[in-house]
Structure 1
Amino acid sequence: MRKWSRKNSLSGLKLRSEMDEHEATVLRSLIGAVSGLLSDRASEAPEDELAALTGLRTGSSTPPDDPQLLRLLPDFHRAEPGSPDAKRADLNAALRSLHEPEIIDAKLAAGRVVLDSCPEAGGKIVLTPEQADAWLAALTDVRLALGTLLDIDDDTPEQFDPSDPRAPHLDVYHWLTWMQDSLLQALAP
């Protein structure tokens, strides 16, 4: 992938890059995997009679069991470790039920923008600032999911031992980080 560049045109600011076919395949696959997790979560939401009458959608009131989904859809408030905070649990459940469908919709929409603007066979990519924002959001989601899968934290080394089965995935994580940073730098005036 080439570093993102910033170009002004008559139709406004455009952000440009180029990706080879393998990179496009990897990115599209990762976006598809995260979108699949989110779509599955949305389809598991309980049916609510009041929501059917009012048109207000509700989501699940319980946090996801899957660690990747939990990282993508965290609680709204975290109690201090060791403090019994039952009221916060009720608040989290209510907030999750009310807002999770919109959050999932926004994440899925960002993923669709990437899939729509990233050529399947690789090639040139030209984004508007709004599309770039969606790319940034989708890249964040993919990095969160992959980082959770790899158990990345402050103590994670820059590289795993080549015999570690996670080594290629860490390289992909670093590539996504570079892509996101390059796009952020291109967006900055």
Structure 2
Amino acid sequence: MRKWSRKNSLSGLKLRSEMDAREAEVLRSLVGAVTGLLADRARSAPEDDLTALTGLRTGNSNPPDDPRLARLLPEFHRSEPGSPDADRADLNSALRSLHEPDIIEAKVAAGSVVLDTLPAQGGKILLTPEQADAWLIALNDVRLALGTALGVDADTPDHLDPHDPRAPHLDVYHWLTWMQDSLLQAMNS
């Protein structure tokens, strides 16, 4: 992949790069997997009488069991131990139920922008600033999900032993990080 760059044209600012077919295939697969996880989570929301009466969507009230989804859809409120609301699990349940559908919808929409603007066989990529924002969201979501699956934390080395089965996936994680950083720099230059 080429580093992202800015292009000012008569139609406005564009961000551009180029990706080979293999890179495009990997990115499409990862974005598709993450949007699939999110869509499955949305479909798992219980039917609600309030939704039928008001049209107000509600989602799951319980946090996801899958650690990747838990990282993408974290708790809304973390109480300090000993605080008056420390035992208020119902607060997170209510907030999750109300807001999770919109959060999932936004994340899936961002992933769809990547899939719609990334040439299937690789090639030139030209994005508007709005599309670039969606790319940043989707890249971040893929990085969070992959990093969680790999157990990436502050102590994870930049390179793993080549015999470690996580090594090639960590390289992909670093590639996604570089891609996200390059796009952000191009947007802000």
Bin the TM-score by the shorter chain: over 0.9
- 1:65-109 deviation line (CA, Å, top 9, x unaligned): 00000000000012235878222x111100000000000000000
Q: Does 1:17 align with 2:53?
A: no
Show the counterpart of 1:111. 111
Show the counterpart of 2:165. 165
SS in 2 for 1:85: coil
Question: Identity over aligned residues, as a percent?
Answer: 77
Show the counterpart of 2:154. 154
Supply the distance in 2 between the matched residues of 1:7 and 1:32 (Cα, whole angstroms).
28
Supply the distance in 2 between the matched residues of 1:52 and 1:11 (Cα, whole angstroms).
44
- 1:8-55 deviation line (CA, Å, top 9, x unaligned): 000000000000000000000000000110011000000001111111
SS in 2 for 1:86: coil
| Unmatched 5+ stretches in structure 1 | none
SS in 1 for 2:14: strand
Supply the distance in 2 between the matched residues of 1:168 and 1:96 (Cα, whole angstroms).
35
Q: Within 5 Å, give how 1:1-189 maps onto structure 2.
A: 1-80=1-80, 85-87=86-88, 89-189=89-189
Q: CA deviation at 1:184?
A: 0.3
Letter in 2 for 1:165: P
| Unmatched 5+ stretches in structure 2 | none
Supply the distance in 1 between the matched residues of 2:79 and 2:155 (Cα, whole angstroms).
25
SS in 1 for 2:97: helix
Letter in 1 for 2:38: L
> RMSD between aligned alpha carbons?
1.1
TM-score, normalised with respect to structure 2:
0.97
Could you list the structure 1 runs, at least 4 aligned residues long, displaced by more than 2 angstroms after superposition. 79-84
